Amino acid sequence: MSAPFLPFAQPEIGEEEIAEVVDTLRSGWVTTGPKVKRFEQDFAAFLGDPALQAVAVNSATAGLHLALEALGVGPGDEVITTTHTFTATAEVVRYLGADVKLVDIAPATLNIDPAAVAAAITPRTKAIMPVHYAGLAADMPALLDIARRHGLKVVEDAAHALPTTCGGALVGTLGSDATVFSFYANKTITTGEGGMLVTRDAALAQRARTMRLHGMNRDAFDRYTAKVPSWYYEVVAPGFKYNLTDIAAALGIHQLKKAHAFQQRRAEIAAQYDAALAGLPLILPPRAAHGDQHAWHLYVLRLADDAGIERDRFIERLFDAGIGCSVHYIPLHLHPYWRDRYALQPATFPHSQHAYERMLSLPIYTRMGDADVARVVAAVRGVLGAQ
């Protein structure tokens, strides 16, 4: 019998998560309530900065939207971000009626290029949104310096970056105005769907809490659990429906406890790939700077120019061998909406375009055993004729 198909990603859910979800279901409180508050408190404690506040939301997209809204981004403003990201990073800017200014990546890291950011600033620029691609920290010292010199806000898209470090500090504790994490099913920890906005700005946190639930100045948990009549609330702004449920938070409480162990296993897999694929016509993923930590949300290969096979055919051959893989990402400048709205051309983004045409992401998740890693390596080597 042939080996079963190895999927690109799978979450690791333990008995602790299952028991916490069951406890939530039996508690009678399944929407935003005590488990969400506990998860927020635990997350802030995990980052280790007592000045941070954490606001749980139902997706990282929601968190990015709330952060920009709280910072006053709106019509007439521009927000600079990378073309090499998922559309959510940019679409939240359009939700607010502002414009997106897309820039290229640094070819070595695949992260947003600070020099391109600096060159893209105009009088309309309000904020910079760096993405920590694949779990490797962007050049935050350079980006924060640019922001300070030009009076710009910084919101980090850290969907890939738990627990990533930059300059020895965890992403989420750097000098930005807000940082947003993702807990989607394939992320380094998961709540199924979910995200977390963290900030040291108390006013930003309060605005995000209000706007995540219809602009109400009191949440349902406070109103429904009070010992005295407390049904009254006021709608102070036209908010959104972005709250995280206690069912999801129940998963997050225990996933967070495993975040460092999960990262260690992902790093082990990455090291095995690095060792086994060295010397092939491939560009292997960049490592974190000395003393820093890569979250290894993704393991992204690039085919060298002399690989002798096109990327799409490479992926087909891996699927034929029973190995799931993906591409991260189709750059935004190639998607009809972004391309047409801003008249974008691939030549404007040569590094992103070149990487995209040659890249693919191999499976990397904690449920993979060493035998699974060896299967992936054998398949890659086989496609390249290096058995």
Task: From 159, 163, 164, select the one nearest 187 (Cα to Cα).
Answer: 159
Distance of CA 353 to the CA centre of its chain: 21
In this structure, the answer to whether residues 333 and 238 fall within a common structural domain is no
What phi, psi does 182 have (nearest 5°)? -115, 140
Concatenated DSSP letters of 37-59? HHHHHHHHHHHT-TT-EEEEES-
Contact 237, 210 (CB under 8 A): yes
Residue 220 confidence (pLDDT):
63
In this structure, the answer to whether residues 126 and 212 fall within a common structural domain is yes
Decide if 2 is inside a domain: no
Question: Which residue type, as a one-letter code, is found at position 218?
Answer: R
Residue 40 confidence (pLDDT):
98
Decide if 249 is inside a domain: yes
Residue 226 confidence (pLDDT):
60
Residue 227 confidence (pLDDT):
59
What does the alpha-carbon distance between residue 108 and residue 315 come to, in Å, rounded to a whole number? 22
Residue 331 confidence (pLDDT):
98
What does the alpha-carbon distance between residue 259 and residue 172 come to, in Å, rounded to a whole number? 14
In this structure, the answer to whether residues 188 and 303 fall within a common structural domain is no
Tell which of 192, 225, 257 closes a domain. Answer: 257
Decide if 248 is inside a domain: yes
User: How much of the chain is in helix, strand and coil states, percent to nearest 5?
Assistant: 40, 15, 45
Decide if 99 is inside a domain: yes
What does the alpha-carbon distance between residue 184 and residue 192 come to, in Å, rounded to a whole number? 5
Residues carrying an active site annotation: 187
Residue 231 confidence (pLDDT):
78
Decide if 95 is inside a domain: yes
Decide if 1 is inside a domain: no
What does the alpha-carbon distance between residue 187 and residue 194 come to, in Å, rounded to a whole number? 10
In this structure, the answer to whether residues 52 and 86 fall within a common structural domain is yes
In this structure, the answer to whether residues 363 and 230 fall within a common structural domain is no
In this structure, the answer to whether residues 101 and 117 fall within a common structural domain is yes
In this structure, the answer to whether residues 275 and 353 fall within a common structural domain is yes
Which two three-digit tokens encode residue 61?
């997209």
Decide if 157 is inside a domain: yes
What does the alpha-carbon distance between residue 184 and residue 150 come to, in Å, rounded to a whole number? 34
CA torsion angle for 175, 180, 182, 187 (degrees, to 10)?
A: -20
Task: From 238, 216, 233, 224, select the one nearest 96 (Cα to Cα).
Answer: 238
In this structure, the answer to whether residues 73 and 143 fall within a common structural domain is yes
Place of tokens 């005295």: 228
**Edge-to-edge, what's the strand order for the sheet holding 282-283?**
282-283, 299-303, 359-362
CB atoms within 10 A of CB 58: 22
Q: Strand 153-157 vs strand 99-103: parallel, antiparallel, or unpaired? A: unpaired
Q: Three-state SS for 279?
A: coil
CB atoms within 10 A of CB 31: 17
In this structure, the answer to whether residues 70 and 143 fall within a common structural domain is yes
In this structure, the answer to whether residues 154 and 21 fall within a common structural domain is yes
CATH number, position 166: 3.40.640.10
In this structure, the answer to whether residues 265 and 240 fall within a common structural domain is no
Strand partners, 155: 178
The distance between the two most distant Cα atoms of the chain, rounded to a whole number of Å, is 73
Strand partners, 374: none
Strand partners, 326: 361
Tell which of 257, 292, 309 closes a domain. Answer: 257
CATH number, position 270: 3.90.1150.10
Which residue range(s) make up the domain with 155?
A: 15-257
Q: How far apart are the first and last CA of the chain?
A: 21
Decide if 8 is inside a domain: no
Tell which of 212, 232, 257 closes a domain. Answer: 257
Q: How many domains does the chain have?
A: 2
Average pLDDT per consecutive 10 residues, the chain (387 residues; last block may be shorter): 89 98 96 96 98 98 98 98 98 98 98 98 98 98 98 98 98 98 98 98 98 87 61 92 98 98 98 98 98 98 96 98 98 98 98 98 98 98 87
In this structure, the answer to whether residues 127 and 246 fall within a common structural domain is yes
